[in-house]
Structure 1
Amino acid sequence: MSRCPDAVACEAVMADVVEEVNDISSFTTSYIATLNSSATYGATCKHGDIECIGNIQELCFQEVNSNQLTFFNYLLCIHRSYDRIGSHKWAKQCSEEVGQDYDPVDKCVNSDTGLNLFIKSVQKSKAYQAKTSCTIFINGHKRCIRDGGEWYDCPEGYSVKDFVKSIENAYKQNGINYY
């Protein structure tokens, strides 16, 4: 998903959403791939192994840097150069641009931790029956999909304002688990 144009567009919208609801939300990313024990990374990514690496880099960045605003700034940086997603040099540069040391991320990427984060992420997407990138869930309920450059299945809308309202409503009802 790190190399999916729909995920890139979706995460740009979500970055603005998180800025408004950071204090009441917990955002995680999960990646769509096909589990495959013989694949290099334990799964086959739609855009190849380089996308799997990009997914692992993003998961590891989020794992070692718990500030979700920093994470979104990292994603926005990564997405500035789509063709470099998955590159060690680019991931390191973006990490430094958002004021984070890349060494802990790199250690995660090149360890069983990174691989396990990726496999768990793929399993989570499968459990949620998320088949397209980007599928947004709020409190475990499918909220909206962006696929093929279009938003759909978004009964409450798909603008920043619409997502903020949905998250605020979910928080008022019972706290929030944003996926």
Structure 2
Amino acid sequence: MDEKLPYDDCQRPVGWVQPRQRCARLRRNVLRIVGVVALLWCLHQLLFPSPTISCRFPYQEALRGTELKVPLEAHIMSKCPDAKDCLQKLVLPTMANASDKIDFKLSFIGRTTDHDDGVECPHGQTECLGDIIELCAATLYPDPKIYLGFAMCLTRDYSEIPQRSLVEDCALEHGIDFGKLNDCSSKDDGAYGIRLLRESVERSNDLDVHISCTVRLADKVRCVRDGGQWKDCDDGAEPEDLIRDVNSLYENGEH
């Protein structure tokens, strides 16, 4: 005679569940209770915060250093000796020590016109081309470690800008593809590069910046290099002075 199971699927008494189902139901109930307790605890911490416990999610700390970087901008002319001194003696050392806290931008000084393709540079059209080359480098390689180093390399021999040999040597030194740089400068028969320069010059003019080199920190003029002299550097013109200010703004979130 065939043995019969105590219950088949159609004969289970009402409310009967297998042990595995009971465990699953118990786990769900426990998770619900834990969730409610965690929610109540966080609400209590938000209303009555503990000095040592926080309900902030970890990603908020992870965002620190990206959204909160301090704006630092250098306004230059590519064939200006003051730009060379400014980058070499102040901007580069600051970036070398605090780049993780800085949102850096390189802008150019000139005058917009209705002739000469819409931009006039103080040291002539060769300077305009030098500006465009440096802007193309920043567009193609947005990491300041690359394009700022490249700009400094050109500026060290600013009188030779924009000679091909100088541009090629500096591009090679800083891992920049000279072919891409050349394509950017000549794109759309040069209109693309001119547009980059015009937008940069307009930015400097809108900010009433006309001296190369002008360094702006957190949207305020921090220091000016003019005629071989530092000017308007009330808080110091040494790299450690600027680094101190960057660290202070970064830590206090005052920017």
TM-score with structure 1 setting the length: 0.91
Instruction: Pick which of 138-147 and 72-81 moved more.
Output: 72-81
* Contact 1:52–1:86 (CA under 8 A) maintained in structure 2: no
Q: Does 1:59 align with 2:115?
A: no
Following the alignment from structure 2 to structure 1, what is the Cα–Cα distance between the partners of residues 224 and 110? 17
Counting matched residue pairs gives 175
Residue 116 (structure 2) aligns with? 39
Following the alignment from structure 1 to structure 2, what is the Cα–Cα distance between the partners of residues 70 and 175? 28
Q: Does 1:113 align with 2:192?
A: yes
* Contact 2:84–2:156 (CA under 8 A) maintained in structure 1: no
3-state secondary structure, aligned to 2:142: coil
Stretches of 4+ aligned residues off by more than 6 angstroms: none
Superposed CA offset, 1:93-131 (max 9, x none): 211111221222211111233211111110110111111
Residue 252 (structure 2) aligns with? 173
Q: Does 1:91 align with 2:167?
A: yes
Residue 160 (structure 1) aligns with? 239
Superposed CA offset, 1:6-37 (max 9, x none): 11111112111111111111211111111112
Q: Does 1:123 align with 2:199?
A: no
Following the alignment from structure 2 to structure 1, what is the Cα–Cα distance between the partners of residues 162 and 250? 34
Gap runs ≥5 in structure 2: 1-76
Q: Does 1:144 align with 2:220?
A: no
Deviation at 1:70, TM superposition (A): 1.6
Following the alignment from structure 1 to structure 2, what is the Cα–Cα distance between the partners of residues 135 and 173? 24
Following the alignment from structure 1 to structure 2, what is the Cα–Cα distance between the partners of residues 115 and 6? 24
Q: Does 1:30 align with 2:107?
A: yes
Following the alignment from structure 1 to structure 2, what is the Cα–Cα distance between the partners of residues 56 and 94? 15
* Contact 2:153–2:170 (CA under 8 A) maintained in structure 1: yes
Q: Which amino acid aligns with 1:36?
A: T
Instruction: Pick which of 80-89 and 6-15 moved more.
Output: 80-89
Deviation at 1:69, TM superposition (A): 1.2
Q: 2:95 aligns with which of 9, 18, 25?
A: 18
